[in-house]
Copies of this chain bind each other. A is one copy, B any other.
């Protein structure tokens, strides 16, 4: 199907219909000859219940890999893992230049270094508010606010119109680090005319305003002042403004700060490298903090989501080599509970309580604000930008729908809810989904990106449910079973093992000489007998593999 003239398309490969794993393509040109740019390239994290054993999940880039020669480059809006975490994994297939701002660049550089890619990647650093031309795309960074330094919206300008790609944002009048949201630039863009906004939906179900880092600073400082013994604060490490708040609060109350947890060090290093955290005292080593009086120390820790290997979990378990908390000490969770993490977080909090450590959370104290726009902020953005089309992204279905309704209430003419892989033509003509691109998930399992991840995970979920029986039978040249069937079981009740062996042996014996020679048929017969016996004895059928060895 060929069309006359170029079009301007939006194509999310991640982050639409889900939270995390953002990867968005914009294409411009005649269908079949479009040129492409990538905005953001993030991951989501694996979960024991549905992706057992998986560390990271990546967006499947095959669509753009196949069009690599027309890929002009990648722009990263900010440094959160769900926006930059897939770069080091996917870049070897994309091999395009990258642009971002200094702090995000510092974070990315350390990732590329770990992946031994630093020499290969062209990483260009743009100033905040910077501009960039890539083929038909004129890009302009617009400073916004979020829960990490240097968040940028990107105005993607083409001859067919301008898209405002917001990235993650909020309206924080007092972000503490960096400038406030550049309302003037957004209004100016609106005055010039905005074809479409592609906009953060995370808090589209939440009324009101997300609140300000400045207000948290006040409240957290006061709270820390009321505590008498050791204090640990756990927070998302990437929220440098929050880290600064904690460091300044510690200073105000005569406490030294010790960082605990690898990402705290990484972020603080990146922040200092790019000129932040200049007004705070140097943290001391956790090993040294042990010798200070209890009211002179504050630990700034990773682990707010109950992550098993993170600092706070180890402290709560009493097996951190350098940090001990005990009765009378306090832990402040300057963070929220991310869905799915509640039980892990509560387990850590219970372990702390068990030691007599007081646990203070956003439930009872004002110690956290979200980094995403609530409904009042979304409304404001629509007032400023006045787009013709609204495309809600970065959210699950309910968020996207609620956001789309809000946009319609704000007089936006067209709303499109696109899923990963939906190619949306923004112009010319009315916005609509014109094509479906392959889009899926790639699984990082140990050091490998799995070739057939869905199959591997299906197998593992099956193993977790019912264990495994691997049976081997040895048939000699005279067509007789050389030994009893050998069954190796894992995750299957030991009490049924003997009966499973008997079932396998009986099935094997019942096969005729000729059936025994038919490997597929014979192994299937034994497999069915084992599974049937398990079902009878146990009520479940384990994963069962049968191998016949002919000697």
Contacts and interface: CB of A to CB of B under 8 A. Distances in A.
Interface in A268-317: none
A396 B476 contact: no
A203 interface: no
Nearest to A52: B464
Contacts of A547: 472, 486, 488
Contacts of A537: 447-448
Contacts of A466: 53, 446
B398 A491 contact: no
A53 B397 contact: no
Number of identical protomers: 2
Given A340-B342, A493-B451, A545 B464 contact: no
A399 B451 CA distance: 46
B446 A539 contact: yes
Contacts of A48: 48-50, 464
A278 to B, nearest CB: 39
Interface in A333-359: 339-340, 342-343, 346, 349-351, 353-354, 359
A463 B460 CA distance: 7
A445 interface: yes
B540 A446 contact: yes
Contacts of A540: 53, 445-447
A204 to B, nearest CB: 12
Interface residues of A, number: 67
Interface string A505-549: 000000000000000000000000000000001111001010101
A524 to B, nearest CB: 14
Q: Which of A342, A459, A460, A543 has the most CB of B within 10 A?
A: A460
Contact of A551 (B49, B476, B494, B495): B476
Interface string A414-454: 00000000000000000000000000000001111011100
15 contacts: A49-B49, A53-B466, A339-B343, A349-B398, A445-B540, A446-B540, A455-B494, A456-B467, A456-B492, A462-B491, A463-B464, A472-B488, A476-B551, A488-B547, A490-B543
